[in-house]
Amino acid sequence: MRDKRVLVVGTTADYIDEICRRFPGRALFLTDATERSGIDRRYLRPDQATEVLCDLSRPDRAVITLKNHLKRWRIKLRGITCFDCESLALAAYIALTFSLSFASPEAVAASRNKYFSKRLWRNAGLPCPEVQLVHSPSDAIRFLRALKHPAVLKPLTGSGSELVFLCRDDGDCLHAFHTLLLKLGTHPNHRMYEHQFHGVERIDPRRAFLIEEMVEGEEFSCDFALDNKGLKVIRIAKKISARNQTLGTVMAYILPGELPPSIDPADLSLQAEQAARVLGLSRTICMLDFIVAQDRAVMLEMTPRPGGDCLPSLERLSSGFDMLGYALDFAEEREVDPPPPGSWQRMVGLHLLATQPGIVRMIDVQNLRGDPRVLECRLTSGPGHRVIMPPEDYGSRKLGHAIFKPSSLENIEEECLELLGKVIIEMESG
């Protein structure tokens, strides 16, 4: 009898650890071999049958390796899912090869490219920032001058706040463009910045970037499930920006995020569904980032995967909803509904971010863990961890997260700062 598994494409050791512990025997992991080099021993490593290690930058070779593994261990794929932006294209390719339900390669390409997605939305009359593809600083400067208010220069296919710059004048455009050119030219994540195709035109995301108008307002993150029956909103979280960090860095998420009265949840659901269909998405779990400005939900980015960072832990503690398990259920085409809106308890996911470079000598979170509001405190880095600050590196400053129940809905940002003050971090140069 053949073992039936959901293929999880290209995720990280911490997610693999959690899925293996909470859902043993349900997943098969296709993992980049580099993910297992120098890995933290705190994370569980799956057995040989449960993980396929290969070079994920070569899709054809990855498929051959996967087929051989399935044959050797008598495993049959019953679905496919993905939690990481740089692996979405590979997941779509594998899904097509094995006739599994997933976003199409064309839909993944449209959603991952922040310029193409916004052009499609604007052509469909959906609210999103005005954008332009730029190949030189002069392109960016012309856009900024025509816009006559601040703009944001960012990578076409990046993730999170990495290499996102606010431009107020010509000098900002010049500095941001050359920083992007320099940093992306040597960026080690080749799959995140693969060449893009727009018809017959080939675009190099390491040399062509996106500039878009800066939209001011409250920012939210939303997960939803889409199928042929329509769209179901899973959760909406409000973002709190991090002070003294780079543009777009999130200090905390508030769940559930309370929408302003001007935004009707039913209208937002309809808008999100229209935006997804325009991108060619049909059956998938999606994350949507948007800003509420001038009584509209202005869409920033939509990608066919659930939200990451501390959000899965926050969702689980707020409502008992397990996004990782839901993603496996969805891949297997099981009918599982997310919790109704009224079942979410107000909670906050707080990121623990380093504020200076160096080597971590000590992290003391005893006082944070002892606070009665804190339900979970998880460190992802410890002594010996090297922190390199942006724009050289954006990931190493993340040291962990805490989930807490706020004592007041009026002063959540102040509570976040108070709790961060309980964390003692000692750094040494290096």
295 and 198, same domain (yes or no): no
263 and 348, same domain (yes or no): yes
The reply to whether the predicted model has a pTM over 0.75 is yes
> How much is the pLDDT for 182?
94
Strand 3-9 versus strand 27-32 pairing type = parallel
How sure is the predictor about 190, in pLDDT bands with cuts at 50, 70 and 90? confident
Cα–Cα separations (whole angstroms), residue 92 to 96, 107, 304: 6, 9, 10
Amino acid identity, residue 282?
Answer: S
Q: What average pLDDT does the chain have?
A: 93
377 and 252, same domain (yes or no): yes
With beta carbons less than 8 A apart as the criterion, state whether 5 and 26 touch.
yes
Q: Which residues of 265-287 are buried (b: 16+ CB within 10 A; e: fewer)?
A: eeebbebbbebbebbbbeebbbb
Please check whether residue 184 lies inside any domain of the structure. Answer: yes
Please check whether residue 41 lies inside any domain of the structure. Answer: yes
With beta carbons less than 8 A apart as the criterion, state whether 174 and 180 touch.
no
What CATH number corresponds to the domain at position 336? 3.30.470.20
39 and 93, same domain (yes or no): yes
Reference 233, options 265, 195, 280, 196; nearest CA is 265
Cis peptide before 372 (omega within 30 of 0): no
Please check whether residue 124 lies inside any domain of the structure. Answer: no
Tell me how crowded residue 360 is: count the other CB atoms within 10 A of its CB: 21
Q: Where are the alpha helices (DSSP H) in 49-194?
A: 59-73, 88-98, 105-112, 114-123, 137-147, 170-185
Amino acid identity, residue 80?
Answer: I
Contacts of 25 (CB under 8 A, 6+ apart): 3, 5
349 and 250, same domain (yes or no): yes
149 and 236, same domain (yes or no): no
Amino acid identity, residue 1?
Answer: M
241 and 273, same domain (yes or no): yes
270 and 401, same domain (yes or no): yes
Q: Which of 184, 213, 242 finishes a domain?
A: 213
304 and 406, same domain (yes or no): yes
> How much is the pLDDT for 352?
96
7 and 31, same domain (yes or no): yes
Strand 374-379 versus strand 196-198 pairing type = unpaired
Please check whether residue 119 lies inside any domain of the structure. Answer: no
Contacts of 355 (CB under 8 A, 6+ apart): 244, 245, 397
Average pLDDT on 143-155 reads: 96
203 and 246, same domain (yes or no): no
Please check whether residue 111 lies inside any domain of the structure. Answer: no
Average pLDDT on 138-152 reads: 96
Domain of 142 in residue numbering reads as 130-213
175 and 83, same domain (yes or no): no
- pLDDT, tens digit (0-9, with 9 covering 90-100), for 313-360: 999 999 999 999 999 999 999 988 888 888 999 999 999 999 999 999
Q: How many domains does the chain have?
A: 3
> How much is the pLDDT for 291?
97
